[in-house]
Amino acid sequence: MLTSENIHLSPIHKKDSEVLFNWINNRELVLYNAPYKPIMEQNHEQWMDSIAKSKDVQLFGIRENKGNTLIGSCQLYSINLLARNAELQIRIGETNQRGKGYGSEAVQLLLQFGFNDLNLHRIYLHVFSDNNAAIKSYLKCGFKTEGTLRQAVFIDGKYADIAVMAILKEEFNARK
């Protein structure tokens, strides 16, 4: 288990499936990082099964230390051990837990796992350019903006730019 002051990352359990299913079908929540498309329970269960079998995904539940409550999820995916890189994704699904720094703590723990346990060299992410809270958090965690994918996705009736951000292992280690 990966632990920080307020949260810890732990494996996703079968009992977490219903909470994750509700988050992925919450339109407002999904629009932070993808176009909204309702997901059927059967498709969600297939996704859960495929994640469990995947060798290029490490999915974690974000849980409060007090009470062990699931408040979000985060993952490294598209893990390429030859190139030593992976993409990071995070979601604080419990909206009343946002703005408390839990996301930044989870990102730091996920970076620690990626660089120290998986021996990755580079961890990158894609974030909507207008998601200022997320970008601020990523910068706080040491990510650097590498570029912009202009009008890269059609979200909620309009095109949106995507910022590409990354952090290298030596940059992460220098921040300790």
Strand partners of residue 4: none
Residue 48 has a CB neighbour count (10 Å cut-off) of 16
pLDDT along the chain (176 residues), means of 10: 95 90 87 84 86 91 95 97 97 92 97 98 96 94 98 93 98 92
Q: What is the pLDDT of residue 48?
A: 86
What are the boundaries of each domain within the chain? 2-174
- According to the model, what pLDDT value does residue 7 have? 97
pLDDT of res. 45: 87
Q: How far apart are CA 82 and CA 76, in angstroms?
A: 15
53-60 contacts: CB < 8 A, separation 24 or more?
Answer: 55/79, 56/80, 56/86, 58/113, 58/118, 59/11, 59/12, 60/2, 60/9, 60/10, 60/11, 60/12, 60/106, 60/110
Distance, C-alpha 117 to centroid of its chain: 17
pLDDT of residue 154: 92
pLDDT score recorded for residue 153:
93
Q: What is the CATH number of domain 2-174?
A: 3.40.630.30
What pTM does this model have? 0.92
Q: What is the pLDDT of residue 148?
A: 98
